[in-house]
């Protein structure tokens, strides 16, 4: 029996951080980096000094929710969330902006670009982190002719 599910889209990530990161200077540094590298902006009606910052990721329905917590999130270095871009050129542009920012601020960490070849898919990706416990993996799926994100693998 097959069940049809409605299309689902991930819409946000919530991360607890130290209150000091959400003071005026901390918010300014986060907004500067994530704005310059990813084009994200502040949702100012949700900002509360030392309590909350919401980074709008190109839509009011896609965002990164940062909230001060008594026990801020701590993660192993490999923990991350993923962002998908449409083309390898878009991925490369984000990577170059992150590298340029790292020249000014050594707190930027970058795991350089890799291309994994799965025959039906070439997965382009890199990781970047800045002042948050989770890194971001930026990915581009370059599908082979006749294959795409809705294609089911054969048994």
Q: Residue 1: is its pLDDT beyond 60?
A: no
* 105-147 pLDDT per residue, tens: 999 999 999 999 998 899 999 999 999 999 999 999 999 888 8
Dihedral-angle region of residue 50 (phi above 0 means left; psi in -120 to 50 means alpha; beta otherwise):
left
Q: Residue 91: is its pLDDT beyond 90?
A: yes
Mean pLDDT score across all residues of the chain? 93
pLDDT value at residue 97: 98
The predicted model scores a pTM of 0.91
Q: What are phi and psi of 25, to 5 degrees?
A: -70, -40
Please indicate, yes or no, if residue 118 is contained in any of the structural domains: yes
Residue pair 56/41 in contact (Cβ under 8 Å)? The answer is yes
Helix (H, G, I), strand (E, B) or coil at 77: coil
Residue pair 107/133 in contact (Cβ under 8 Å)? The answer is no
CATH number of the CATH domain containing 93? 3.10.180.10
Report the domain count for the chain. 1
pLDDT value at residue 155: 53
Please indicate, yes or no, if residue 5 is contained in any of the structural domains: no
């Amino acid at each position: 029996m097959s069940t049809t599910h409605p299309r689902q889209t991930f819409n946000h990530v919530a991360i607890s951080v130290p209150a000091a990161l959400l003071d005026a200077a901390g918010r300014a540094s986060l907004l500067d980096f994530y704005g310059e590298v990813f084009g994200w902006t502040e949702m100012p009606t949700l900002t509360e000094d030392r309590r909350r910052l919401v980074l709008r990721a190109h839509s009011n329905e896609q965002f990164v929710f940062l909230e001060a917590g008594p026990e801020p999130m701590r993660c192993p270095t490999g923990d991350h969330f993923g962002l998908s871009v449409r083309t390898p050129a878009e991925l490369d542009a984000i990577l170059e902006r992150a590298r340029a920012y790292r020249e000014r601020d050594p707190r930027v960490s970058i795991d350089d670009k890799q291309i994994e070849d799965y025959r039906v898919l070439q997965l382009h990706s890199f990781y970047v982190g800045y002042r948050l416990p989770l890194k971001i993996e930026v990915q581009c799926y370059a599908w082979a002719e006749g294959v795409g994100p809705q294609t089911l693998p054969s048994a």
